[in-house]
């Protein structure tokens, strides 16, 4: 695909700089004020939350019946989408596909603020609300943290009595597909007024408080709690350096970034920003925000952490419309692939706007790299899901398109028992690792149990490497036929009949794409820094 040459151009053209991209902000990265081209802004609100769906940032909830609002990078402006069916606040919105779930919320009025039983769902395709189910009566609470992991929603902590002394350490799993609940082991520490995040296979909970009266601000929680989805066990991590509640929290790479908040130690909301590294169990301090705030919206959009609205003072006022962001492009290798989805961090945060630490950004069960490299579908659109042929143990067909100077049709035809490089349990007829000027060496790497047809339509004027790695029942046929200049390396996986890789790195047009990529990369970075 040509976009790979664009990305290659960016990487090569900037190769003299030893450090271009990291999935973490640098210690000296500054917060920048965000404005829109049309002058629109968010409605002032607090006890709100946000989530990104299909590249747009949605802000939901807040006291006093706040409308759903969306920021669209395509128009560089805010748009109001209507009010929810009732006051919803003190919840962390999460998205599965095109739907946003408001789960574990509170409603009017302070201080008892009842927990909302219903699971309210906002559909971003038609801007309508619906009810998906309800929280079991004995597990209802508001002010909880919520995350999505493998298409299930996990609810942790919260308060059963609003602000009046009902903080809990409960942990539950909700499956929207079946509308069923499962009780999981309690977290080590009760807390409310916080946000949870997922880092790899771990859920991380930091900050928050156990709210009660007469002073709802003073009982902040120090320990960080980590849940491992593989072992189903909780552990305690290092204490947060600056104890506070109501912070905006996101996860990137191996770090959890906690911005802002409130506590009884000061009347103004915090500007403090700290990051917890799950791998090293340590905290570091980042540059402070321009405006102190708590209980605002916070999400990663593109390569920046956006914080929006909230309250500038302890408690509920003054509500602000301020919007600022922090660059997450720091200084490490551009070809690191943190989530192992086949896309580098550079591609994810600058080119495709996918999540660099989530292999399947749109939760459609196909990872981002396969959508971009193999199926040519949108990794941010859950409705643009590729049709993957079923595996039936019989016939599979994989085609790799390249270019070749001449025709290479090399056939390896023989019978062998055993599996090794170049072993076929049956008859293997394929073209691979051969020279396009008449000579071809066909290799079948795998066990043949059906019929695998892999065609590499092209070759360089030197070498075409087409490998059939899979299972077929007799015949593996790989043919390289075409004309061009360069090297084509195609791998066909006969078990699913799809093209696994098709990199092309030769030919007269690559330099032009590299130069184009260079200026595209500089423009993209400059545009974000200016904003």
Residues β-bridged to residue 183? 172
Higher pLDDT, 455 or 106: 106
Most confident of 8-17, 225-234, 487-496: 225-234
pLDDT of residue 82: 96
The H or E element that residue 19 is part of is none
Strand bridging mode 94-96 / 304-308: unpaired
Give the chain's mean pLDDT.
Answer: 77
Higher pLDDT, 99 or 328: 99
pTM: 0.64
pLDDT of residue 216: 97
What number of CA atoms fall less than 13 Å from residue 410's CA on the CB side? 24
Cβ distance 240 to 285 under 8 Å? no
In a 3-state reduction of DSSP, which class is residue 345?
helix
pLDDT of residue 402: 38
Q: Taking residues 19-24, report their average pLDDT.
A: 46
Dist CA 463 CA 232 (whole Å): 50
Residues β-bridged to residue 172? 155, 183
Asked which of 264-278, 332-346, 377-391, 441-455 is least confident by mean pLDDT, the reply is 441-455
- Name which of 81, 164, 75, 66 is nearest 115 in CA terms: 164
Q: How confident is the model at residue 334 (pLDDT cuts 50, 70, 90)?
A: low
Dist CA 500 CA 438 (whole Å): 26
Query: Taking 70 as the threshold, does the pLDDT of residue 267 lie above it?
Result: yes
Q: How confident is the model at residue 357 (pLDDT cuts 50, 70, 90)?
A: confident
φ, ψ for residue 525 (rounded to 5)?
Answer: -70, -40
Strand bridging mode 395-401 / 450-457: parallel
pLDDT of residue 3: 41
- The H helix count followed by the E strand count for the chain is 4, 33
- Name which of 531, 40, 75, 11 is nearest 306 in CA terms: 531
Strand bridging mode 196-199 / 180-184: unpaired
Residue % of the chain over a pLDDT of 70:
67
pLDDT of residue 350: 59
Beta strand segments in 126-200, E: 128-134, 145-149, 152-156, 171-175, 180-184, 196-199
Dist CA 506 CA 485 (whole Å): 7
The H or E element that residue 434 is part of is strand 434-435
pLDDT of residue 45: 97
What number of CA atoms fall less than 13 Å from residue 288's CA on the CB side? 10
Distances (CA, A) of 155 to 81, 163, 167, 174, 280: 26, 19, 14, 8, 26
Query: Taking 80 as the threshold, does the pLDDT of residue 363 lie above it?
Result: yes
Q: Taking residues 234-263, report their average pLDDT.
A: 97
Residue % of the chain over a pLDDT of 90:
59
Query: Taking 90 as the threshold, does the pLDDT of residue 177 lie above it?
Result: yes
Q: How confident is the model at residue 330 (pLDDT cuts 50, 70, 90)?
A: low
The H or E element that residue 346 is part of is helix 345-346
Query: Taking 50 as the threshold, does the pLDDT of residue 421 lie above it?
Result: no
H helices of 345-386, where?
A: 345-346, 368-370
Distances (CA, A) of 153 to 103, 181, 268: 9, 10, 33
Q: How confident is the model at residue 129 (pLDDT cuts 50, 70, 90)?
A: very high
Burial of 202 (0-12, 13-18, 19+ CB in 10 A): buried
Dist CA 479 CA 438 (whole Å): 13
Query: Taking 50 as the threshold, does the pLDDT of residue 50 lie above it?
Result: yes
pLDDT of residue 508: 40
Token pair listed for 258:
């906690």
Query: Omega into 318 within 30° of 0, i.e. cis?
Result: yes
Higher pLDDT, 217 or 11: 217
Who contacts 192 (Cβ-Cβ below 8 Å, separation ≥6)? 90, 141, 142, 143, 144, 157, 158, 159, 167, 208, 209, 210, 211, 245
Query: Omega into 109 within 30° of 0, i.e. cis?
Result: yes
pLDDT, tens digit, 9 for 90 and up, residues 110-124? 999 999 999 999 999
In a 3-state reduction of DSSP, which class is residue 396?
strand
Token pair listed for 3:
């976009």
Query: Taking 70 as the threshold, does the pLDDT of residue 63 lie above it?
Result: yes
Asked which of 158-162, 165-169, 298-302, 456-460 is least confident by mean pLDDT, the reply is 456-460
- Name which of 467, 481, 489, 492 is nearest 398 in CA terms: 492
Cβ distance 225 to 249 under 8 Å? no
Query: Taking 60 as the threshold, does the pLDDT of residue 517 lie above it?
Result: no
Higher pLDDT, 139 or 405: 139
Asked which of 138-147, 247-256, 417-426 is least confident by mean pLDDT, the reply is 417-426
Q: Taking residues 303-321, report their average pLDDT.
A: 96
b (16+ CB within 10 A) / e for 228-263: eeeeeebeebeebebbbbbbbbbbbbbbbbbbbbbb
Query: What is the domain partition of the chain in residue ranges?
Result: 1-20+331-353+366-389+501-531, 23-327, 395-496
Q: Taking residues 200-224, report their average pLDDT.
A: 97
Q: How confident is the model at residue 289 (pLDDT cuts 50, 70, 90)?
A: very high
Asked which of 321-335, 368-382, 470-484 is least confident by mean pLDDT, the reply is 470-484
Q: Taking residues 355-365, report their average pLDDT.
A: 85
Q: How confident is the model at residue 351 (pLDDT cuts 50, 70, 90)?
A: confident
Dist CA 136 CA 143 (whole Å): 16
Query: Taking 60 as the threshold, does the pLDDT of residue 242 lie above it?
Result: yes
Higher pLDDT, 120 or 510: 120
For helices 2-13 and 510-530, the axis angle rounded to 10 degrees is 70
Q: How confident is the model at residue 298 (pLDDT cuts 50, 70, 90)?
A: very high
pLDDT of residue 388: 79
Q: How confident is the model at residue 349 (pLDDT cuts 50, 70, 90)?
A: low
Token pair listed for 276:
């917890």
Higher pLDDT, 179 or 414: 179
For residue 207, count other CB atoms closer than 10 A to its CB. 28
Q: How confident is the model at residue 335 (pLDDT cuts 50, 70, 90)?
A: low
Query: Taking 50 as the threshold, does the pLDDT of residue 272 lie above it?
Result: yes
What is the chain's length?
531
CA quadruple 520, 525, 530, 531: dihedral positive or negative? positive
- Name which of 461, 397, 407, 395 is nearest 431 in CA terms: 407
pLDDT of residue 390: 63
Q: Taking residues 312-325, report their average pLDDT.
A: 96
For residue 95, count other CB atoms closer than 10 A to its CB. 19
Dist CA 183 CA 297 (whole Å): 28
Dist CA 310 CA 293 (whole Å): 6
Second CATH level (architecture) for the domain 23-327: 6 Propeller (2.120)
């Amino acid at each position: 695909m040509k976009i790979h040459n664009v990305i290659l151009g960016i990487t090569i053209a900037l190769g003299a700089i030893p450090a271009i991209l990291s999935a973490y902000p640098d210690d000296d990265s500054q917060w920048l004020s965000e404005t829109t081209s049309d002058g629109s802004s968010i409605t002032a609100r607090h006890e709100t939350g946000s989530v990104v769906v299909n590249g747009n940032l949605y802000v939901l909830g807040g006291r006093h019946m706040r409308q759903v609002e969306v920021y669209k990078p395509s128009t560089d402006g805010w748009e109001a989408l209507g009010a929810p069916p009732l006051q919803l606040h003190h919840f962390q919105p999460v998205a599965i596909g095109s739907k946003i779930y408001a789960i574990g919320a509170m409603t009017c009025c302070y201080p008892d603020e009842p927990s909302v039983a219903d699971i309210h769902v906002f559909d971003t395709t038609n801007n309508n609300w619906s009810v998906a189910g309800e929280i079991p009566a004995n597990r209802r609470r508001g002010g909880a943290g919520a995350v999505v992991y493998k298409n299930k929603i996990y609810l942790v902590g919260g308060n059963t009595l609003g602000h009046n002394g009902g903080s809990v350490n409960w942990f539950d799993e909700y499956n929207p597909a079946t509308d069923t609940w499962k009780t999981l082991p309690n977290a080590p520490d009760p807390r409310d007024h916080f946000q949870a995040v997922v880092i790899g296979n771990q859920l991380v909970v930091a900050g928050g408080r156990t709210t009660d009266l007469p002073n709802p601000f003073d009982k902040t929680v120090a320990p960080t709690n980590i849940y491992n989805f593989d072992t189903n066990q909780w552990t305690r991590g290092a204490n947060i350096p600056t104890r506070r509640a109501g912070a905006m929290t996101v996860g990137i790479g191996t770090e959890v970034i906690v911005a802002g908040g409130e506590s009884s130690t000061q009347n103004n909301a915090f500007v403090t920003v700290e990051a917890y590294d799950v791998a090293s169990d340590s905290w570091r301090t980042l540059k402070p925000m321009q405006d102190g705030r708590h209980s605002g919206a916070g999400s990663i959009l593109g390569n920046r952490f956006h914080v929006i609205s909230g309250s500038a003072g302890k408690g509920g006022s003054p509500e602000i419309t301020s919007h600022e962001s922090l660059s997450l492009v720091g200084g490490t290798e551009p070809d690191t692939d943190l989530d192992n989805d086949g896309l580098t961090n550079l591609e994810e945060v600058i080119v495709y706007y996918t999540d660099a630490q989530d292999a399947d950004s749109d939760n459609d069960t196909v990872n981002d790299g396969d959508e971009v490299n193999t199926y040519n579908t949108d990794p941010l659109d859950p409705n643009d899901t590729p049709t993957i042929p079923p595996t039936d143990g019989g016939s599979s067909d994989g085609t790799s398109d390249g270019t070749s100077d001449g025709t290479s049709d090399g056939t390896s035809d023989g019978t062998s028992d055993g599996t090794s490089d170049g072993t076929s349990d049956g008859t293997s007829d394929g073209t691979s690792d051969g020279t396009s000027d008449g000579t071809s060496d066909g290799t079948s790497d795998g066990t043949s149990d059906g019929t695998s047809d892999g065609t590499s339509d092209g070759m360089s004027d030197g070498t075409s490497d087409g490998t059939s790695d899979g299972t077929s029942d007799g015949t593996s046929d790989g043919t390289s036929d075409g004309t061009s200049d360069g090297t084509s390396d195609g791998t066909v996986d006969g078990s699913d009949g799809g093209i696994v890789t098709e990199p092309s790195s030769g030919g007269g047009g690559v330099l032009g794409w590299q130069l184009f990529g260079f200026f595209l990369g500089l423009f993209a970075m400059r545009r974000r820094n200016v904003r």
